[in-house]
Amino acid sequence: MKRAAPAIALSAAGLTWLLHAQGVIDTKPAQQASPTDPSTTAPAPDAPAATSPPTSSAPSPETPPTTTTPSSRNGTVNGPVIDTRYGPVQVEVVLSGSQISDVRALEYPNEARRSQDINAQALPMLHDEVLAAQSPNIDTISGATYTTFGYEQSLQAALEQAGVLRQ
C-alpha cells in the first residue's frame, strides 16, 4: 500500500497538519499539496443561505427525520436522547443566526446525587465547548470527550445537525 508522506504547516491557531494519506481509498485523484497556506485548502463555506426553503419538507418516506440540510440557523436544534448509566439525557441548542446563544438540558437524570454533580459540572463545560466548536473553518472535532457523558454526545449531534461546526 503506497502512502504519501503527510506534511505539517503552522497556522495562527496552532499546529496545522496537512495529511495527504492515500491508499485506503485510492480512487481519488492525486492532490496538489499547498502546505504553506492552510486557508487555501479550507473548504469553501457552502451552507445554503438561511432564506432558502427547507428541503426536508419534501415528502419522502425513505428520508429519516434526522437527515437534514442545514437550511435554517435560527431556532433550536435538539440532540438525540442518549442513554447513560445515570439515565437518559438530551440537550437543546438555541441558535441565533450562525451563533449559539444557549445550550439547555431537555432531559437529564436528577435522582442520584452523582447525577446532580454531573449536571452541575457538565452544562457550564458544554457552554465553553460550544464556543470552541464555533472556531472558524473547523469542520469537526477529534477528541476523547464525546463518549464521557451523554450530554456531550447529544450536544455534538445537535451541533453537527445545526451545521454550526461548519461556517
Partner 1 sequence: MTDAELRRVEPVMGTVVSFVVHGRDHDDGAIRRALDDAVRWLHEVDDRFTTYRPGSEWLRYCDGELALANAHADLRHVVARTEELERATSGAFRIDADASRPPDPAAYVKGWAVQRAADILVDAGATAVCVNGGGDIAAWRIRGSWRVGIQDPFDRTKVCAVVEVDCGAVATSGAYERGGHIVDPRTGRSARGLASVTVVGPDLGTADAYATAAFGLGTDGPAFLRTLDGYGAFVLTDSGAIEAIGLPSAA
Alpha-carbon distances of 115 from 103, 147, 152, 164, rounded to whole Å:
18, 16, 15, 28
Least distance (Å) between residue 130 CB and partner 1: 9
Closest of 44, 23, 22 to residue 33, by C-alpha: 22
Work out which of 51, 61, 62, 113 binds partner 1, going by CB under 8 A: 62
User: In the numeric block, which cell numbers belong to residue 84?
Assistant: 447513560
Least distance (Å) between residue 104 CB and partner 1: 18
CB of 36 or CB of 74, closer to partner 1: 36
Scanning the structure block, which residue is given the C-alpha cell 503527510? Answer: 6
105 near partner 1, judged by CB under 8 A: no
Contact 87, 106 (CB under 8 A): no
C-alpha 113/C-alpha 115 separation (Å) is 5
Residues 113-142 that bind partner 1 (CB under 8 A): 125, 128-129, 131-132, 135, 137-142
Work out which of 17, 96, 110, 117 binds partner 1, going by CB under 8 A: 17
The amino acid sitting at 66 is T
CB of 59 or CB of 64, closer to partner 1: 64
Least distance (Å) between residue 97 CB and partner 1: 19
